[in-house]
Amino acid sequence: MTIRRPLGGRMVHRQQLERLLEVGRLRNVEIQVMPTDREDHAGMGGQIEVMKFADGGAVGRSPNQFGTRPVSDPKVIRILELRYGIIRSQALTPRESLAFIEKVLGET
């Protein structure tokens, strides 16, 4: 989602931002925003999906890097986890992200 782009009109945009704030304030949720001025970051390689299971197993995929099929190879999962960690370190912190969303909401 692009936080500054009002897709669906102004009211829909406001509702989306309000919902992000609502969910972002939950104890078990962290939202981090990647500022658009970060022209080169680890997320430029496309989406990352990793699911971890109670038995310790994991499945992941990154269509632009490893194809569209889910993979369970621990080496590939580790690469995806490392890339995700880099993305998080390059993004705003959860507190900064919520403040940014509040700022944009105030501008709409």
Residue 75 pLDDT exceeds 90: yes
Same domain, 25 and 3: yes
Domain count across the chain: 2
Q: pLDDT digits over 77-101, tens only? A: 999 999 999 999 999 999 999 999 9
DSSP H helices, the chain, are 10-24, 63-66, 74-90, 94-107
Same domain, 60 and 22: no
Same domain, 7 and 49: no
Same domain, 41 and 87: yes
Residue 37's pLDDT is what? Answer: 83
Same domain, 56 and 28: no
Global pTM exceeds 0.85: no
Instruction: Enumerate residues 6+ apart whose C-beta is below 8 A from 73.
Output: none
Mean pLDDT, residues 21-34: 96
Distance (Å, whole) CA 54 – CA 19: 29
Same domain, 97 and 86: no
Same domain, 2 and 42: no
Output helix, strand, coil percentages for the chain, rounded to the nearest 5. Answer: 50, 15, 35
| Surface-to-core class of residue 94, CB atoms within 10 Å of its CB (0-12 exposed, 13-18 middle, 19+ buried) | middle
Same domain, 13 and 50: no
Same domain, 54 and 73: yes
Task: Give the end-to-end CA distance of the chain in Å, rounded to a whole number.
Answer: 16
Same domain, 83 and 53: yes
Same domain, 46 and 79: yes
Same domain, 22 and 6: yes
The range of the structural domain enclosing residue 66 comes to 37-91
